[in-house]
């Protein structure tokens, strides 16, 4: 019995379709990706490969933070080191205005004659001979006996350098005056330049000798200030100081 042509064509199509479905199945069946045996070493290799990649990314961050923290680490370490001798509130390169200059000659005060003259016992070798000597304070002039403020000026000098105190004699150009007195600036460890103190308190006038001008600027400045304030001989009183 002969089958109609459409029926035969339908059978052919079904056969082709069945063949096409069977082929992918055959290809997927032997795929090794699903086999656990072949994947067993993969995690080990992946794990061993992972650490190198992780530090490679993290290392720059760690180095960067370490570089940022280095100044702080140094700052914390410095106090542990011994302090530097140069670290001081005092500046050795700046002169102290009250410091006794080099080259002075040591003496002991034995008597206060008046506001600008004293007797001393020289105890150190120098231009002024050893023993008892009379010193005239340079660049100042105080009231003489029987003049107003004489006693006040004398008392002030005795207060600044009392009998028995140690003083330091500084020379200028001239050594002695016509009366044989040694011309000196007188320094005290407690008071600094005593000549300057007498003028600053208004108990002495600036009196600069022609050849002796070592402290001229300081003395004349102190005199101008005392005059402005009306101190001592520049005011209306001598029986005490403000």
Which secondary structure element, helix H or strand E, spans residue 8, and what is its range? helix 5-28
Q: Of the segments 55-59, 84-88, 148-152, which one has the largest average pLDDT value?
A: 148-152
Give the CATH number of the domain where residue 114 resides: 2.40.50.90
pLDDT exceeds 50 at position 177: yes
Looking at residue 209, its pLDDT comes to 82
What is the pairing mode between strands 192-193 and 131-137? unpaired
Instruction: State how many domains the chain has.
Output: 1
**Is residue 205 included in any domain, yes or no?**
yes
Looking at residue 92, its pLDDT comes to 39
- pLDDT band at 231, cuts 50/70/90? very high
**Is residue 158 included in any domain, yes or no?**
yes
**Is residue 221 included in any domain, yes or no?**
yes
The pTM (predicted TM-score) of the whole model is 0.60
Of 132, 134, 137, 135, nearest to 116 (Cα)?
137
Looking at residue 107, its pLDDT comes to 98
**Is residue 41 included in any domain, yes or no?**
no
Dump pLDDT digits (tens) for 156-168. Answer: 999 999 999 999 9
203/198 Cα distance (integer angstroms): 5
> Of residues 103 and 89, which shows the higher confidence score?
103
113/182 Cα distance (integer angstroms): 14
Looking at residue 16, its pLDDT comes to 61
**Is residue 84 included in any domain, yes or no?**
no
- Domain housing 206: 105-234
């Amino acid at each position: 019995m002969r089958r109609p042509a459409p029926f035969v064509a339908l059978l052919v199509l079904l056969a082709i379709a069945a063949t096409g479905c069977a082929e992918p199945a055959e290809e997927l069946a032997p795929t090794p990706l699903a086999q656990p045996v072949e994947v067993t070493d993969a995690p080990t290799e992946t794990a061993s490969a992972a650490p190198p990649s992780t530090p490679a990314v993290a290392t720059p961050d760690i180095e960067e933070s370490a570089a940022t923290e280095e100044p702080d680490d140094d700052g914390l370490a410095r106090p542990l080191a011994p302090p530097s001798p140069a670290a001081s509130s005092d500046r050795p390169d700046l002169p102290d205005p009250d410091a006794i200059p080099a080259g002075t000659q040591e003496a002991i005060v034995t008597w206060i004659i008046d506001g600008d003259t004293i007797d001393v016992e020289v105890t150190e070798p120098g231009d002024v001979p050893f023993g008892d000597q009379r010193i005239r304070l340079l660049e100042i002039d105080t009231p003489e006996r029987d003049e107003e403020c004489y006693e006040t000026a004398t008392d002030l000098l005795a207060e600044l350098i009392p009998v028995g105190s140690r003083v330091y004699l500084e020379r200028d150009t001239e050594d002695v005056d016509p009366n044989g007195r040694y011309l000196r600036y007188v320094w005290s460890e407690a008071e600094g330049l005593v000549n300057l103190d007498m003028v600053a308190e208004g108990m002495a006038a600036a009196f600069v000798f022609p050849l002796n001008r070592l402290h001229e600027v300081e003395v004349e400045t102190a005199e101008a200030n005392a005059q402005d304030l009306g101190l001592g001989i520049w005011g209306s009183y001598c029986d005490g100081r403000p």
